[in-house]
Amino acid sequence: MQKPEIAIVGGGPAGLSAALSAVRQGAEVMLIDRDPALGGQLVKQTHMFFGSKKEYAAIRGIDIPGQLMAALEEDGKGKFAPVLNTTVLGYYDDGVILADREEEQAMLIKPQKTIIATGAAEKMLPFPGNDLPGVYGAGAVQTLMNVYGIKPGARVLMIGAGNIGLIVSYQLMQAGVEVAAIIEGAPKIGGYLVHATKVRRAGIPIKTSHTIKEAYGNKSVEGALICSLDENWCAVPGSELDMKVDVICLAVGLTPQTELLWQAGCEQKYIPELGGYVPLRNEKMQTSLPDLYVAGDVACIEEAGSAMVEGKIAGLYAAADLGYDENVEEHYSSFARELEELRGGPTGAKIKQGLSRLNGGVEQC
């Protein structure tokens, strides 16, 4: 049985940032990820990030894991151990983690503190024909295009005009794939408007108050019927449009992957603004179980920038609570300020509202 001081489940932006923060405090960290490489969803983000230049703004997502890993190699000498191709299957009552290592025996790990940074999974949308080959999640389309360099198809219907729908549409154009339209059920575009402007000048129509009625095709997607919605989100009769596409890409939201937290017995609450069921946490990103911390999309659906700052806080306190508490107040103040800045505008207001509801009216982190 392995007994690291801190185990971090998930090597995406939150997990990597947590690891860096923890090793800098002096703690020993084991970072476990199910993929063959670290970076989580960052490895597919070819676009420049927003946020503060002091963090990773104007740097492409794909370049961020390399920077974090270089820092980990430098600051984590002898203290940082990445464990790849390993899926954490459970977190048990006795604080033991069971992990499945590809083609090897299962691993048992008993850390003193654990940070869960497992991110989120894509939501599905119910409509007739949604099981046809060619109906793909936005992450799947990004994986094919940006990781394996393979076109998902020839002509795509994008469902969802949040940041993911807008960005992936832009990336499809960059990969040489036509985007027939972006449709969005809400009356307004949910993502950053500069992303929307970028795809409009590329000639991609954005149809708000529209939804998909059905997908059709013999062995795979050959087309879709879309229609417009009235102010009650009901289909407007006679408004159907036939879109000839071979890929229907769903970018309809993310759900935190909280399975391990449920199993561990963390208190969770359903907060729509934060993406669904999310764990209760304090300003240290500590859950109702004192040895379990969270960071990133599993804590609330937001941006990679905030995921990284939450990771820094979780890593800081997981280490500090083990006694590695040098300058903890100073570091925390600076991280909290960064998070407050990122959430200071209208786009962050929803998150703050959700967090306020989560904590029963007491606004924290």
Q: Taking CB under 8 A as the criterion, which residues in 14-43 touch another protein?
A: 34-36
Binding of residue 48 to another protein (CB under 8 A): yes
| Subset of residues 176 to 205 that bind another protein, contact rule: CB under 8 A | 176, 187-189, 192-204
Cα–Cα distance, 271 to 262 (Å, whole number) = 16
* Tokens found for residue 36: 């063959």
Binding of residue 244 to another protein (CB under 8 A): no
Indicate the residue among 51 and 111 with the shorter CB distance to another protein. Answer: 51
| C-alpha 311 chain-centroid distance | 13
| Subset of residues 60 to 119 that bind another protein, contact rule: CB under 8 A | 60, 62
DSSP 362: -
Q: Minimum distance between the CB of residue 191 and another protein, rounded to whole angstroms?
A: 9
| Subset of residues 312 to 351 that bind another protein, contact rule: CB under 8 A | 341-348
Indicate the residue among 164 and 318 with the shorter CB distance to another protein. Answer: 164
Cα–Cα distance, 122 to 168 (Å, whole number) = 14
Residue listed under structure tokens 């993502």: 191
Indicate the residue among 22 and 274 with the shorter CB distance to another protein. Answer: 274
| Subset of residues 254 to 273 that bind another protein, contact rule: CB under 8 A | 257
Indicate the residue among 35 and 214 with the shorter CB distance to another protein. Answer: 35
Query: Which of 314, 334, 320, 321 minimizes the C-alpha distance to 10?
Result: 314
With CB under 8 A as the contact rule, the residue among 4, 12, 276, 305 that binds another protein is 305
Contact status, residue 311 vs residue 284, Cβ threshold 8 Å: no
Indicate the residue among 46 and 239 with the shorter CB distance to another protein. Answer: 46
Cα–Cα distance, 208 to 214 (Å, whole number) = 17
Q: Minimum distance between the CB of residue 318 and another protein, rounded to whole angstroms?
A: 26
Contacts of 170 (CB under 8 A, 6+ apart): 47, 195, 198, 199, 202
Residue listed under structure tokens 């020993």: 28
